[in-house]
Structures are given as structure tokens and as C-alpha cells.
Amino acid sequence: MNRLVSAGVVTVVMSGLIFCTSSTPNQGNIAVKENERGLKEYYKDYFLIGVAVSPQSLKTDEAALILQQFSSMTAENAMKMGPIHPGENLYNWEGADSIAAFARRHGLKLRGHTLCWHNQTAAWMFKDKEGNAVTKEVLLQRLKDHITEVVTRYKGTIYAWDVVNEVISDSPGEYFRDSPWYRICGEEFVARAFEYAHAADPSALLFYNDYNEIDPIKRKKIMKLVKDLKAAGIPIHGVGLQGHWSIYEPSESELDATLKDFSSLGLPLHVTELDISVYRKEHSRREKRPEDSNAVFSSEQESLQTEMYKRCFRLFRKYKEAVTSVTFWNISDRRSWLDQFPVSGRKDYPLLFDKNLQPKKAYFEVIGFK
Ligand code: GLA
């Protein structure tokens, strides 16, 4: 790991992982012409349309697509605990700062993601100098320092934060996910995280964010967590529904019930990480199988995906009083996290724009409403 100091910013270069500066060459015109309306205009009376970005993507032809189509951005990885806070006294601001600067320069809204998560958090957070687990007091103090530092830095630029991500268990009989946060602090870290964030920026909207919210059992648990936090007077202002779905789910009734249930909380809902995989949904990583190599975007997948996107946006519009933002998780099929998950190296085609940044059939269904 190299440490550089430039323009008052401490930069950490970690084995090319975070600061890969190579940019994709400009691949020419996009099919939606410059003066044509983008998603953000079609949806201006409904909700913000966001996209998850990397600092690198803002240096490629994807930047023009972002400006044309989207009104909001989220940092895909650059603001997560591990990348932004790799050592106890080491913050790595470069990627996050460049995304914040792009948002300010172009007047895009910016969501912050994420202040507390069990994944992509550096191991130092949970350990003392001898490598033993830290006490609850130490861990909460570290959480407070982290949240205060990060939220203060982007005060005025980030209008909403995913404060806590994915603490609810996927197992029907278990409430909280087993994680170092939970093992060391019990449930308390969740409430504290919201309080620390609110103290650092009282005007930021604070969200709890989770996936597999279409599952009725998990949904109930997420709603219980949110209701309990509200009842205890904790500053929570909204619920983030990740929306990592597939061409096979959710059904019309599942999604309708999901949006209806969450809107009954009376809090704004953000769809925070929307993508529609062309494969059946799996929530755990697994080995590649022979059939995974056959990764073409078939016309059957295309038509199922088009129908699913149409369904999702029809229902998002139906619940527009509650849904105030819909963010896609990645920009185009050129690159998605789903190319590596749940199967490493299996290409997926989950977004509205293809590898050449051309709008897919699903795009025209999403904008083609009366
Ligand atoms: C979760 C996280 C996101 C991201 C996705 C995969 O949904 O909230 O930050 O890591 O997994 O990209």
C-alpha cells in the first residue's frame, strides 16, 4: 500500500484495487440523442432517478450518459467503510471526493452509501493491537469517529445517507444477522449509528437499507427494526429497498405487497440498488458451473426483462407518494457487480443500457407510460 499526500488529501493506493485510473476509450455516440429527454425528465413528477458510479466511470463516455439520464448518484464502493477508512488513522478520500465534486459541478443529487455494514469493512475496525476483538465501548467509539468524519466531510453535498446496511438475517428464525458488529455490540450499534450521523449533519436524510425485502418474512423483520427505531425516537427518515431482482421475480403481487407494506410506515422509500439479473436470484456466492459459461443475452431473457422493468416502474409510479428516488446499481451492461456475483466471471445483463450505452428495449417500456 502506498501513501501519497496531494493537495491536502491523503491518498492510499492499494494494489490497483481502488485507484485503477485506466479509462474506457470513448465508444462513440449514444443512441439517445443529446437533446432528447432522459429518464430524469420522464420521471420528474415522480421520483429522482439515480445511478451507482465509480470514480473511473466519471472519466469515460459513461459520464455523458449519466448527465443525460440521471438526476442522482450513489458511490458504488468509494464511500464504504473499507475503501474510505482503511486504517485507524487513515482516510482515503480521493475517489469519494471526485464523485462529490462531479455531483456538485453538475447539480446532481448525491446519496451516501454506506456508513455501517458487515461487508467491505477493514479488519482493523474490530481488533485491538494484539489482534483480539475490541470491546463494545471501543467499537462504538470507532463507529462514532468514522461516521462523524465522513458525514461532516460531505455535509451540504450528500442529502441522504444509507446509515446502516443489511443487518437483518435472511434466515427465517433469526432476527439480526450474525456479524462482528452484532457479536460485539448487540443490536445497539444500529441506533447509535443513526444518532452519530444525525449529530454530524442534522439536515441529512438517514436511511436503513436492505435487500430481499420482497420476502414477506424478511420484510416483517425490516419493518420491525424501523418501527422500533422510530418508536425509540432514533433519527431515521427513510427505508432503502435495494431491489436486486431478476427476470423471474418479484411477481406483480409480491412487489405490490412490498411497496404497500413499506409505505404504511409513513417514511420515504428509496429504491437504492435496482438491477434485474437475467438469471434466477441467488443471494450467496457459488462456484461456476458449465452452463454459466453460456452467457448470451437471449431474446427470451430480453423480453422477460423488459416486462419486469415495465412492472417495476408501473408499481413505483403507483406508490409515488412514498417512493422518492429510484437508483440503478451500475450504469450499463458494460459492467455490473453481477458479472462477479453470485458466480465469478458469469456475464449478466441487468441494466437499461447495453455495453455500447445504447438503450435496451426495457428502456423504452420504462419511459413509455402515459
Ligand atoms: C449490496 C451493497 C452494495 C453493493 C451490492 C453489490 O447490495 O449494499 O453496496 O455492494 O451489495 O454491489
pLDDT for 32: 54
| Buried b or exposed e, range 94-103, using 16+ CB within 10 angstroms | bbbbbbbebb
Query: Which are the catalytic amino acids?
Result: 166, 273
> 62: Cβ below 6 Å to ligand 1?
no
The pLDDT of 154-167, averaged and rounded, is 98
> What is d(CA 258, CA 240) in angstroms, rounded to the nearest whole number?
12
Q: Which of 282, 337, 339 most suits a substitution to test ligand 1, by most atoms within 8 Å of the C-beta?
A: 337
The H or E element spanning position 205 is strand 205-210
Q: Domain segments of the chain: what residues?
A: 37-367
Q: Based on C-alpha coordinates, what's the Rg of the chain?
A: 20
> 277: Cβ below 6 Å to ligand 1?
no
Instruction: Please report the atom of ligand 1 found closest to the CA of residue 242.
Output: 7
> 349: Cβ below 6 Å to ligand 1?
no
Q: Which of 207, 300, 313, 302 is nearest to 259 (CA)?
A: 313
> 273: Cβ below 6 Å to ligand 1?
yes
Residue nearest to atom 8 of ligand 1 (CA): 165
Question: pLDDT-based confidence at 23, cuts 50/70/90?
Answer: very low
Report whether 359 contacts 352 (CB < 8 A): yes
pTM, rounded to two decimals: 0.91
Question: pLDDT-based confidence at 291, cuts 50/70/90?
Answer: confident
Cross-strand bridge partners of residue 72: 50, 109
Distance 198 CA to ligand 1 centre (A): 23
Distance 329 CA to ligand 1 centre (A): 8
Report whether 54 contacts 78 (CB < 8 A): yes
pLDDT(46) > 90: yes
> 54: Cβ below 6 Å to ligand 1?
no
Q: Is 2 left (phi over 0), alpha (psi -120 to 50) or beta?
A: beta
pLDDT for 34: 60
pLDDT(2) > 50: no
The one-letter amino acid at 235: P
Task: Report the SS3 class of residue 37.
Answer: coil
Write the DSSP string, 40-90. Answer: HHHTTTT-EEEEEE-TGGGGSTHHHHHHHH-SEEEESSTTSHHHH--BTTB
pLDDT(102) > 90: yes
C-alpha cell of residue 272: 437504492
pLDDT(54) > 90: yes
pLDDT digits (tens, 9 = 90+) for 309-358: 999 999 999 999 999 999 999 999 999 999 999 999 999 999 999 999 99
CATH topology of domain 37-367: TIM Barrel (3.20.20)
Residue nearest to atom 4 of ligand 1 (CA): 76
Quickly count: other Cβ atoms within 10 Å of residue 152's Cβ: 11
Distance 288 CA to ligand 1 centre (A): 21
Residue nearest to atom 2 of ligand 1 (CA): 165
What is the number of residues in the chain? 370
